[in-house]
Amino acid sequence: MRTAVVLSTLLSASLVAASPVQWPLGLLSKYQVWDNTQTAMDGYDIHEKRLVQFGENESPIWVSEWEKIKFKESGINFMDITDTQDLGFSLFSGDSKRLSAVTYPSPNSTVLVKKVIKSLSTEGPLENLQKFTSFTNRHYRSETGKQSQKWLLSKVDSLTKEYAPDSLLPFVSITEFPHKWGQNSIVAQIKGNSDELIIIGAHQDSTSFLPFLPAPGADDDGSGTVTILEAYRALISSGIRPQKTVEFHWYAAEEGGLLGSRELAQDYERRGALVYAMQHFDMTAWVKKGTQEVVGILTDYTDSSLRKFVTELVDEYLSIPWADTQCGYACSDHASWTQAGYPAMMAIESLFGDSNPNIHGSRDRLDISPEFSFTHMLEFSKLAVALVIELGFPKE
């Protein structure tokens, strides 16, 4: 989630005829270093060509997986559209069965929201994030990325069995959305009386300069992952079946160009799913020293009506204010749903310029600084709970 001014230089380099990959010196010997004769790690072909897009109005270009790694290292956002080139087709085909002109009410479920919010805790997120960051990395093509996804799947399942009352369990399902790279996305659904969907999302993968280097990903996006996991636990604990269907998504391969969320959004669009609201959480833990603690509300590539509703939720239920900010094209998975024509929003830990500087490397740890705050994360769990109850639960 970084934007750099070196895009034109790197793009120019990407168009040069294939040349030997130049690796940095000084890599620790315990890591297997790719060289010019070795093009794959666990089936990862760094010379495979992918179609990527760097801006809403820019033509996509073909680049290698190695060049994608370099763009990510330089903080350049992109979408890998190779397998999802028709995402957003229904906006132009006239075949869309989705909701049009979605409007949102003012918050009016105060008693229930505050009751569920009281059940939120920092204990679960701390324990879960300690485990989630114990994997060497969660790169979507790495073996530990697959292992971390399986652990997360088992955790969602165990929390459901522990906290959902018997009356709610028949309406809860936990599934994997399969991807060819091996790390699958996870969908936990609480089936309502309506097919209209409320989606709460975060991405589960992490990245470093090279896919096999340490990348604990505590903030990006381990924080969002455990933030919405805690909200899910509190909501199922209430035992109330929602009116609208509620889904919690943990996306694979965000760092590879929003790959996982693009495949899900494409599937939902093709099925004509009725997404009433999609709220994404990417990085929820960092409070930069000397700055005001806020909820960053993205104003670019988000839905204006949903954005306004979310600010009202912050005013009503959170103990900190909100502030408008921007993160640019393809900065996280909400952009996939926006492109599909669904109302989507993202909340972030701060103003974008004040966000965690340690991401995408070995320093993205939960113990790196007092600026990493679980009480700050809890405010985002409150926001997820409030949005689901206000939009999806039966009215008081």
280 is catalytic: no
Active site residue 254: yes
Catalytic residue among 360, 364, 371, 376: 360
Taking a C-beta distance cutoff of 8 angstroms, is the pair 349, 294 a contact? no
- Let me know: does 321 contact 297? Beta carbons within 8 Å: no
Per the annotation, the verdict on 349 as an active-site residue is: no
Residues in contact with 6: Cβ distance below 8 Å, sequence separation at least 6, in sequence order: 74, 76
Q: ∠ CA 242-195-310 to the nearest 5 degrees?
A: 60
Catalytic residue among 65, 80, 220, 230: 220
47 classed as catalytic: no
Identify whether 255 is a catalytic site residue. Answer: yes
Residue 340's φ and ψ, nearest 5 degrees, are -75, -5
Strands 79-80 and 49-53 turn out to be: antiparallel
Encoded tokens for 67:
């060049």
Element (H, E) at 304: helix 304-317
Q: Which residue in the list 254, 269, 303, 390 is annotated as catalytic?
A: 254
> Is 203 an annotated catalytic residue?
yes
Q: Euclidean distance between the first and final Cα of the chain, in Å? A: 39
Using only C-alpha atoms, the chain has a radius of gyration, in whole angstroms, of 20
Which has the closest alpha carbon to 32: 23, 41, 44, 43?
A: 41
Q: Report how far residue 28's alpha carbon sits from residue 65's, in angstroms, rounded to the nearest whole number.
A: 22
Out of 179, 203, 249, 280, the active site residue is 203
Catalytic residue among 196, 230, 255, 390: 255
- Which position among 205, 269, 282, 349 bears the catalytic label? 282
Residue 23 DSSP SS3: coil
Catalytic residues: 203, 220, 254-255, 282, 360
